[in-house]
Structure 1
Amino acid sequence: MASLIESHAQQYAVLTADITAKIGKLTTHADKKSIIQEIERHVEEAQELLEQMDLESREAEPAIRPRLRTQLDSYRAELKRLTQEFTKVRNTQFEDGLYSQDDIYSSNVNVTEEQKRSLLDNSERLERTGKQLTTGYRMILETEEIGSQVLQDLNSQRETIQRSRNRLRETNAELGLSSRLISGMLRRSWIHRFILYGVAVVFVVTIVVVISLVVMKHTN
């Protein structure tokens, strides 16, 4: 989506630059009808591009949508200004669809020069605005890319923490099981020890009894 909007923005910049150049030719070029037709066609194409960019901006990410809307507003204002300038220049030298040599060469030189300067200034402002918008758009893409990378890093860290927590739980469970096994072994060890002590006592008692019987027998 972002690459598509950028492509439309580049096409729009080319169209507006061509419109500006052709408006400047209206005061000097002989075949003015074809130039006017080309300008009108370019204006329609630029308007269509703006409509497509408007639709695409509505489907863009919420984080960059306000900047795209600002960019579109600037494009619309620039196209409106170029359309007004074109209308002004056309109406100055065009009447009822036909040009007259007298109208062309009898027009006020000062007005023509003023229009040329205005067109050059507009072209320079358009170029500066286009560069600023391109720079801003690249910053938006870079910011979006950085934000996406940060989210990926955070997601990776969250997964790592979750795995560590699971391993800690497993370790605690294993330690609990080991503790129970050791306790059982200790109990069995004490039981075995008591049994051994009992056997030893019984053995000693038996020996004492046997010795006593033997002594008593010899005494009798």
Structure 2
Amino acid sequence: MATLIQSYEQQYSVLTADITAKIGRLKSGSDDDRDKLSREIQSNFEEANDLLEQLELEYRGSGAGSRVAAYRAELQRVREEYRSVFNNSATYNIDPDEYEDWSTVNEQRRKLLDNTERLERTGKNLTEGYRVVLETEQIGAAVLQDLHSQRETIQRSRGRLRETDATLSRSGRVAQSMLARALQTRLVLGAVLVLLALLAALGLYLYVT
């Protein structure tokens, strides 16, 4: 996990360095070079966002402290630098003989910026949606764990109830056996008393006669 995080961080560092170098070339490039560099930089920004999303997932999986927020702030700073350079280069590289095309250039630049902002918002929405999905998955796992724990508790309670029922059944049988023995003892004692009374009466009769 740590090796994969380090790999993503190295890729991000190389990518941001490449973006910074291209921004430097953008300041002095021709119109054709500027358009090509701009497309490459936009592609690099998208790739950097993807890397940061993967890096954030790896950080969450490892439970380690995340540096993604700092990386995003750095990427935003580079993005602002790119916008500033792009706007300035678009302004200062206009041919005075073609000043009448300024409105078209400005419109294209505005559309490019709008598309860039739209892509950023889409990326943020996707990241937020992914975060919600992960949190929902974590909550679902916690609920399932809780249900599993409750199931085990119920099963243990049922086992104890069965053991208690068996103990009560044994106690009932023992009590019934003791009651039967007590009744038997009383019957035997009653029979002995009757026999003793008969013997006493017989002895008295023989004594009198």
Q: Distance in 2 between matches of 1:46 and 1:171?
A: 65
Please give the residue correspondences for 1:139-158 in structure 2 after superposition, counting only pairs within 5 Å. 139-158=129-148
Describe the shift of the 1:153–1:48 C-alpha distance in structure 2 as closer, same or farther (beyond 3 A): closer
**What is the match of residue 131 of structure 1?**
121
Write the letter of the residue equivalent to 1:170.
R
Please give the residue correspondences for 1:8-23 in structure 2 after superposition, counting only pairs within 5 Å. none
Cα offsets for 1:78-128 (capped at 9, x unmatched): x9xx9xxx8xx89xx6xxxxxxxxxx6455335554333222101101111
Give the alignment partner of residue 169 of structure 1, picking from 131, 141, 159: 159
**What is the match of residue 184 of structure 1?**
174
Determine which structure has the larger helix proportion and give its number.
Answer: 2
Task: Quote how far apart the aligned CAs of 1:56 are.
Answer: 3.2
RMSD between superposed Cα atoms in Å: 4.3
Q: Distance in 1 between matches of 2:155 and 2:170?
A: 23
Describe the shift of the 1:49–1:125 C-alpha distance in structure 2 as closer, same or farther (beyond 3 A): closer
**What is the match of residue 183 of structure 2?**
193
Task: Quote how far apart the aligned CAs of 1:59 are.
Answer: 4.7
Q: Distance in 1 between matches of 2:208 and 2:140?
A: 100
Describe the shift of the 1:203–1:187 C-alpha distance in structure 2 as closer, same or farther (beyond 3 A): same
Q: Distance in 2 between matches of 1:52 and 1:186?
A: 79
Q: Distance in 1 between matches of 2:57 and 2:146?
A: 31
Q: Distance in 2 between matches of 1:115 and 1:141?
A: 39
Q: Which runs of 4+ in 1 moved over 6 A?
A: none
User: Is 2:205 the partner of 1:215?
Assistant: yes
Q: Structure 2: state its 5+ residue gaps.
A: 62-78
TM-score, normalised with respect to structure 2? 0.58
Task: Quote how far apart the aligned CAs of 1:45 are.
Answer: 7.6
Q: Structure 1: state its 5+ residue gaps.
A: 27-31, 63-78, 94-103
Secondary structure of the 1:108 match is helix
Q: Distance in 1 between matches of 2:48 and 2:119?
A: 18
Cα offsets for 1:133-167 (capped at 9, x unmatched): 21221122112212211221221122112101111
Write the letter of the residue equivalent to 2:148.
R
Give the alignment partner of residue 206 of structure 1, picking from 182, 196, 209: 196
Q: Distance in 2 between matches of 1:106 and 1:156?
A: 73
**What is the match of residue 56 of structure 1?**
55
